[in-house]
Amino acid sequence: MGTKNSRLQGFYQLSPSERLQMVGAFDGLNEEELLTLQGGNGSLPLERADKMIENVVGTFNLPLGIATNFLINGRDVLVPMVVEEPSIVAGASYAARLVRAGGGFQASSTEPLMIGQVQLVDLASPERAVLAILEHKDELLALANAQSASLSRLGGGARDIETRYFASSPMGPMLIVHLIVDCRDAMGANAINSMCETIAPRLETITGGRAYLRILSNLSDRRLACARAVVPPAALERDGLSGEEVIEGILWAYSFAAVDPYRATTHNKGIMNGIDPVLIATGNDWRAVEAGAHAYASRDGHYTSMSVWERDAAGNLVGTLEIPLAVGIVGGATKVHPTAQAALKLLGVKTANELAEVCVCAGLASNLAAMRALATEGIQRGHMGLHARQIAMAAGATGPLVEQVAHRMVQERNIKPARAEALLSALYGPELEIGAS
């Protein structure tokens, strides 16, 4: 474990610059990397942004926060999170502290296997087409691997070929060829798409069919990450509620999500609240992971909770989360974006699997934080302070006025733009220009 400790007491009370210095001391980030995390040093130069996407006119900033208290497989981790919604970073940090009381998160992941799909139509005999594909499997795999010699050198590459036949669709029957690819530390989209493009003409020749789509699937159900957390009842005691009572409430909240897709959607959004910010901070494709995770939650024919919560024989709260997590630490925006590079260094991950394990733990922490709040004081209480600050700033408060106006609105339980403007006008005089920035 070394001497690192992600349990940074009082971290939230420090100024942003003080927090940054503490983060630098945690994992030895140099001054340039700290400045990049801070958003200075031209974190994403316009010239670089112009090469990343089309029609660039500028860049867009989001807050980057640090979730503390994470202990994952015995290793202390500070988790960078890029997100605009209040309470997510604080909630994940708080939940990680609860899990720490039970020994921290245990995480694991499968091999980084992804699926590329080639769609074949106009087949005279689907059965003969399947046999022909399997007879030429070694040839097709060699052809695919020739497109990514570097991936093969690293021990990855195309591993297997499978077929799926659909006897009917809105356009008629189709045979889908699955190319199973080990992506190692890359997310793998570009490599897989190139492989599919390469083997498609040969598949047409072998089967006598016509190839249309040749693209990866974002339902990466061969590339899973799993996290497990144990929370003792004593850690959950709060405001006159026993730990056992809080666990009871959490289990009822989970049960609601397990049976009702309307609740499961919001429940699972809370899980992705923890995962997406880490993906964004590290330059990964959060939209692909979102799509795969929600599809995986529907794999049994109905949409349900991504996580499972239960009580063990000792009375502890136990949560598990298993979802597809296709992430990379090489290539794409991860390599191009300076802040993503600094975030990866802070995380101390050496493989894409390790990054996936951090992500799934952050998701489980965010899920726990939301359910604990719902089962006790309700979700709004935790949101109130941060939301009030945003309303105060939108009304024109600056400097110390932000906290003062926010505090009054929270006390009054009246957190609305009109009230913020009235407080600014009444407390600080008509000379304050309401709505000024």
Query: Catalytic amino acids?
Result: 85, 269, 285, 383
Extract the tokens encoding 378.
Answer: 């309700």
CA angle 318, 323, 326 (to 5 degrees): 140
Nearest in space to 115 (alpha carbons), one of 324, 276, 284: 324
DSSP letters along 306-321, please? SEEEEE-TTS-EEEEE
Which amino acid is located at 14 in the chain?
A: L
Q: Cβ distance 186 to 330 under 8 Å?
A: yes
* Run of H or E residues at 413: none
**CA–CA dist 114, 117 (Å, integer):** 10
Radius of gyration of the chain (CA): 25
- Residue indicated by tokens 């006008």: 425
**CA–CA dist 200, 215 (Å, integer):** 10
**CA–CA dist 70, 104 (Å, integer):** 7
**CA–CA dist 206, 208 (Å, integer):** 6
* Run of H or E residues at 19: helix 16-27
DSSP letters along 95-152, please? HHHHHHTTT-BEEEE---EEEEEEEEE--S-HHHHHHHHHHTHHHHHHHHHTT-HHHH
- Residues forming a β-bridge with 175: 120, 165
Extract the tokens encoding 278.
Answer: 């880490």
Nearest in space to 292 (alpha carbons), one of 312, 276, 270, 274: 276
Measured between alpha carbons, how far is residue 432 from residues 336, 397, 398, 402, 405 in Å? 44, 9, 10, 13, 13
b or e along 68-93 (b: 16 or more beta carbons within 10 Å of the residue's beta carbon)? bbbbbbebbbbbbbbbeebbbbbbbb
Extract the tokens encoding 42.
Answer: 């031209």
Measured between alpha carbons, how far is residue 43 from residues 47, 243, 333, 338, 437 in Å? 11, 44, 13, 6, 24
